Amino acid sequence: MIAVLAVLVALLVQVTVVNRFPLPPGGGPDLVLLVVIGMALARGPSAGAMIGFSAGMLVDLMPPTAHVLGQYAFVYALVGYVAGRGLGGTVPTVMLCVLAAPLLAGAVGWLIGDPRVTAASIASGVPVTVFYSLLAAPVVIWLLTVGRSEEFAA
């Protein structure tokens, strides 16, 4: 129940606040991705993949959609699984997942022939998203994992 609520709140805040208030130089954090990572860290790889897939489907369906249905479901499911494995500890896992998700989304978009995905769009968009997501990550991950700190001692 908490996972559903966290994903829905993150999605609504993402769409109503973050996406409407782009931070310079044009972008913002991916709150839904951070919730997927936090939930996966707390619940493991299987739950992380399921939460990631569900959250990705919601992102795919939430207007305004300008990508192929299932693109973010695939990306977030994969990121949820990797984050749930928690390889190398919490901080390296979060950093890896925050960097991998937009690159993977761009690669999937390129593979399916999305004309908006170019090397220039990836080079300009990914660093901004990664930067702001890493800035927001400590707060979001802490909120999702509070009370489970003994599990993240590694």
Q: Which tens digits make up the pLDDT trace of 29-80?
A: 999 999 999 999 999 999 999 999 999 999 999 987 777 889 999 999 999 9
Alpha carbons within 13 A on the beta-carbon side of 39: 30
List the CATH number of the domain containing 101. 1.10.1760.20
Whole-structure pTM value = 0.90
Number of domains observed in the structure of the chain: 1
Candidates 8, 14, 24; CA nearest to 64 is 14
Q: Which tens digits make up the pLDDT trace of 103-150?
A: 999 999 999 988 888 899 889 889 999 999 999 999 999 888 775 654
Residue 30 φ/ψ, nearest 5 degrees: -100, 90
Using CA atoms in the order 144, 147, 150, 152, what is the torsion angle rounded to 10 degrees? 10
The answer to the question of residue 96 being in a domain is yes
The answer to the question of residue 100 being in a domain is yes
Q: What is the 3-state secondary structure (H, E, C) of 47-85?
A: HHHHHHHHHHHHHHHCCCCCCCCCHHHHHHHHHHHHHHH
Q: Which residue has the higher pLDDT, 148 or 101?
A: 101
